[in-house]
Amino acid sequence: MTQLVLKDVNSSATLEFEGDIPRGLTGYDGCTFVARIVSTPLNAAVNVYDIRPDGWAAFFADIASNWRGWDGAKAHESLEGHLKLVATSDASGHIRLNITLRGVEIGDEWRAETSINFEAGQLDHLAGKVEKFFS
């Protein structure tokens, strides 16, 4: 699997991952993948380097296992801060995933932020898709 698309339940906005994630990474072995926000009017992409790509699967598995909701926010960030996801929930079974992409190029830094929404009933399926892509 070289592409994963997570779609907002209320709009056409998506968070997309693309790349070939190596299996069995240990220690400081890492990999690079693309994270992309596609929405109106925002489209942005960044190369993300991470030494524990399976952490993204664990993040979504945790959200799915707490489908009834939780207090505060659950967050996960890539090693160098190029991708950050922050999930919050409400008592009605709605999950908001705030997405931050950060690009750093010589002399220039940029940031793109948006959010996508899920419903509790989608979480097991989403966690399975993320597990398949990242683990």
Of 109, 115, 89, 103, give the one whose Cα is nearest residue 37. Answer: 115
Which class is domain 3-134? Answer: mainly beta
> Tell me, what's the pLDDT at 25?
85
Of 69, 98, 101, give the one whose Cα is nearest residue 86. Answer: 98
Q: What is the pLDDT along the chain (135 residues), one digit of tens a residue?
A: 799 999 999 999 999 999 999 988 888 889 999 999 999 889 999 999 999 899 999 999 999 999 999 999 999 999 999 999 999 999 888 999 999 999 987 778 999 999 999 999 999 999 999 999 998
Distance between CA atoms of 2 and 73, rounded to whole angstroms?
29
Strand partners, 44: 37
Residue 84 in tokens? 């950050």
Distance between CA atoms of 14 and 7, rounded to whole angstroms?
4
> Tell me, what's the pLDDT at 105?
77
> Tell me, what's the pLDDT at 13?
96
> Tell me, what's the pLDDT at 24?
84
Residue 109 in tokens? 């830094």
Cβ-proximal residues to 71 (8 Å cutoff; 6+ apart), any chain: none
> Tell me, what's the pLDDT at 91?
83
| C-alpha distances in Å from residue 88, one per residue of 106, 117, 123 | 34, 10, 13
Cβ-proximal residues to 92 (8 Å cutoff; 6+ apart), any chain: none
